[in-house]
Amino acid sequence: MKITVQTETFDLNAEVAALHRNNPSVGAVASFLGTVRNESGQVSAMALEHYPGMTEKALSAIVQEAQTRWAVIDATVIHRIGPLAPCEPIVLVAVACAHRGDAFAACEFIMDFLKTRAPFWKKETTADGGQWVDARDSDETATQRWRKPCH
């Protein structure tokens, strides 16, 4: 498992290759790349703040939970912090499994929990100054659907 919080960007090829490591049991790598959106055309920059220490713990716990639910061979989570320009990569989650069903589910699970449980905060810079991004209800809804049914 690789969990990294860093200011610099990352290389998708290198990360997927490091995750796969020519392991012949791996048949499926699902990955998610999140990038800075600027739909309004108003965002000149974004800054990511986080809670050092808790971030890494929270991400590790999320990946470990995914590993108990699906047959995950290995997983990588990289989240950037600091200033970012529109279109720049923010986050990479990549999961290697034998089969695609496990890889897709684990990757989406990790992203959904990262969005609501990992202590990162986005602040957008526009001509009007800085504005903290509001949490979206849809992210909490996405997280809730992974709840296991009661027995």
Partner 1 sequence: MNLKLLYFARLRETLGISREVFTLDAPATVADLLDHLRARCGVWTTELAVERNFRVAVNQEMANASTALNDGDEVALFPPVTGG
Partner whose binding site includes residue 25, from a copy of itself, partner 1, none (CB under 5 to 8 Å by kind): a copy of itself
Q: Does 90 bind partner 1 (CB under 8 A)?
A: yes
CB 120 within 8 A of CB 129: no
Task: Find the angle CA(89)-CA(91)-CA(110) to the nearest 5 degrees.
Answer: 155
Residue type, 2: K
Q: Does 98 bind a copy of itself (CB under 8 A)?
A: yes
Cβ closest to a copy of itself, residue 53 vs residue 131: 131
What is the rounded distance in angstroms from the CA atom of residue 76 to the CA atom of residue 16? Answer: 9
Q: Does 128 bind partner 1 (CB under 8 A)?
A: no
Neighbouring residues of 11: CB distance < 8 A, sequence distance ≥ 6? none
Q: Please report how close the Cβ of residue 116 comes to partner 1 at its closest, in angstroms.
A: 6
Q: Does 37 bind a copy of itself (CB under 8 A)?
A: yes
Q: Does 33 bind a copy of itself (CB under 8 A)?
A: yes
Q: Rule CB under 8 A: which residues touch a copy of itself?
A: 11-13, 16, 20, 22-39, 41, 43, 86-87, 98, 100-101, 103-104, 107-108, 111, 138, 142
Q: Rule CB under 8 A: which residues touch partner 1?
A: 34, 48-51, 53-54, 57-58, 79, 90-91, 100, 111, 114-123, 132-136
